[in-house]
């Protein structure tokens, strides 16, 4: 695997290209979750089109100028978060809420060079990316966000003429789709457009509890739970028996970081077909790849962590409220704040592991399709009261996000196109306890899915054995792209 050291410029504060409004903007209840007080990390690898007359001599300087122009439209990103200590009228979690001071102080921008070609990062281009820390500027404490730049960007020029875009962005300001929208605006401006093709919309009041309809139920947490029905008779494990360890309290929280490992699991058409073949024909046709892989990884993870048969395990599916399912609270085009809602399923660990895979898939499907207007309002209300999601009393949680479609057909500079990238498991790991489903191509060039996984070292070995059984693999080492941090 290639190794290199990037030659970085000194970090510079990049301000909006023109004067912007000086004001204070409130965050939504979803933006202001305590669990989002960190910097998310993204890397994107871009291949430049040879011979394109629009291609700039220096992509880093072109992107720098486009970012300054984009900040005129996305001017809150150039501001700073401030925490309000006064109690809001009527209570409801007013103390400690954050607002954005639109001060135009700017974002961090770093230019860098690396003596490596895009092809040397791997063919196909898949995580883990070698020397990923060299592609990202220093964000300091990634869990301290108040009073700091909200975006840190490094553009690394490669020997082949391509470049890598490495980002740290404050999750309280935007989710993955929102940040991709900002990068799309930069791409628009970098290829000479007079303005972004999608203009940003703030409207954080749309996902604030006091502005949403009152939910029909006053038990918001329980209204979100889709439980595995106890009426079904237990059935044997669909993939065979694997020895399991004695129950543990919560190894995901008690294991020191140096004893955790990160792995990436690649699921191409062949692997998905193998798993789909273990479902009844009617269900196999209806089930999406995300639902299928979520069901299987939840089962394997539960078995690997050794939970007791009567301990409840919970699955949280992060859903994008911009999706077609959300006809009841439509968000305007250009909304770039956090628009994720969390559908929750739970089941006793023993029941989850002994029933057919079809039961788990059905549970995942019901969970996704059960996000009604009332449940969405209830979740926002719960977040507003508790200031974090999931609530701190919830244990044995596995959170899954489908980020495959965030950057598809969006990040096009005209003279360069996205060759690969995603969310690397780098930096602080406490925000990486779930899995991200990322889009990629396998060695045969087929569209595939990469699923990230963070587990204690011993549990990871058991996870791979479980997954090998489901995939009818003789060697569990063939499942992963990476084996350790």
From 168, 171, 237, 437, active-site residue: 171
How much is the mean pLDDT over the chain?
85
pLDDT score at 422: 84
Q: Where in the chain is the domain with CATH 3.30.559.10?
A: 7-207, 217-405+429-479
86 vs 280, more confident: 280
Is residue 93 pLDDT above 50, yes or no? no
380-402 pLDDT tens trace = 887 877 777 666 666 789 999 98
306-321 pLDDT tens trace = 999 999 999 999 888 8
61 vs 439, more confident: 61
pLDDT score at 95: 47
pLDDT score at 257: 82
55 vs 467, more confident: 467
Is residue 87 pLDDT above 60, yes or no? no
Q: Which token pair is 225? A: 């739970």
479 vs 65, more confident: 65
Residue pair 350/309 in contact (Cβ under 8 Å)? The answer is yes
Residues in contact with 51: Cβ distance below 8 Å, sequence separation at least 6, in sequence order: none
Residue whose structure tokens are 């294991």: 255
Q: Which token pair is 293? A: 């892989």
323-356 pLDDT tens trace = 776 776 778 999 999 998 888 899 999 999 999 9
171 flagged as catalytic: yes
217-242 pLDDT tens trace = 443 333 345 666 543 333 434 444 45
Residues in contact with 243: Cβ distance below 8 Å, sequence separation at least 6, in sequence order: none
How far apart CA 32 and CA 47 sit, in angstroms, is 36
139 vs 430, more confident: 139
127-148 pLDDT tens trace = 888 999 999 999 999 999 999 9
Element (H, E) at 232: none
pTM for the full predicted model: 0.84
Look at residues 250, 324, 265 and name the one whose alpha carbon lies nearest to residue 296.
265
Tell me, which fold does domain 217-405+429-479 have in CATH?
Answer: Chloramphenicol Acetyltransferase (3.30.559)
Q: What is the CATH number of domain 7-207?
A: 3.30.559.10
């Amino acid at each position: 695997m290639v190794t290199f050291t990037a030659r970085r410029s000194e970090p510079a504060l990049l301000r909006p290209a023109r004067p912007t409004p000086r004001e204070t903007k409130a965050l939504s209840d979803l933006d202001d979750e305590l669990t989002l007080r960190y910097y998310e990390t993204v890397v994107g690898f871009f291949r430049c089109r040879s011979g394109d007359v629009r291609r700039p001599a220096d992509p880093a300087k072109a992107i720098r100028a486009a970012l300054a122009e984009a900040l005129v439209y996305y001017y809150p990103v150039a501001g700073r978060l401030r925490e309000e200590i006064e109690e809001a009228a009527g209570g409801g979690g007013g103390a400690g809420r954050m607002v954005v001071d639109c001060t135009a102080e700017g974002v961090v921008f770093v230019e860098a060079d690396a003596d490596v070609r895009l092809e040397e990062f791997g063919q196909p281009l898949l995580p883990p990316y070698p020397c990923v820390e060299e592609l990202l500027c220093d964000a300091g404490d990634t869990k301290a966000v108040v009073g700091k730049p909200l975006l840190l960007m490094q553009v690394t020029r490669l020997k082949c003429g391509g470049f890598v875009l490495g980002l740290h962005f404050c999750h309280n300001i935007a989710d993955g789709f929102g940040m991709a929208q900002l990068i799309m605006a930069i791409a628009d401006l970098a290829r000479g457009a007079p303005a972004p093709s999608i203009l940003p919309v703030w409207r954080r009041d749309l996902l604030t509890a006091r502005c949403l309809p009152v939910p029909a139920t006053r038990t918001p947490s329980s209204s979100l739970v889709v439980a595995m029905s106890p009426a079904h008779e237990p059935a044997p494990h669909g993939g065979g028996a694997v020895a399991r360890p004695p129950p543990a309290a919560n190894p995901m929280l008690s294991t020191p970081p140096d004893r955790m490992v990160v792995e990436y699991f690649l699921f191409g058409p062949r692997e998905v077909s193998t798993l789909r073949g273990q479902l009844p024909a009617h269900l196999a046709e209806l089930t999406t790849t995300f639902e299928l892989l979520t069901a299987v990884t939840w089962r394997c993870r539960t078995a690997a962590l050794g939970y007791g048969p009567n301990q409840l395990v919970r699955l949280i599916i992060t859903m994008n409220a911009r999706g077609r399912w959300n006809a009841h609270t439509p968000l305007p085009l250009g909304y770039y704040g956090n628009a994720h809602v969390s559908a929750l399923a739970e089941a006793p660990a023993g029941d989850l592991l002994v029933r057919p895979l079809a039961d788990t898939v059905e549970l995942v499907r019901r969970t996704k399709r059960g996000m009604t207007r009332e449940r969405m309002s209830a979740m926002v209300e719960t977040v507003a009261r508790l200031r974090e999601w999931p609530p701190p009393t919830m244990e044995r949680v596995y959170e899954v996000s489908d980020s495959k479609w965030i950057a598809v057909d969006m990040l096009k500079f005209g003279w360069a196109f996205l060759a690969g990238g995603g969310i690397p498991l780098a930096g602080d790991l406490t925000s990486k306890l779930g899995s991200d489903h990322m889009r990629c191509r396998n060695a045969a060039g087929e569209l595939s899915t990469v699923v990230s996984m963070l587990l204690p070292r011993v549990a990871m070995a058991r996870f791979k054995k479980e997954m090998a059984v489901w995939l009818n693999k003789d060697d569990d080492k063939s499942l992963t792209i990476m084996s350790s941090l």
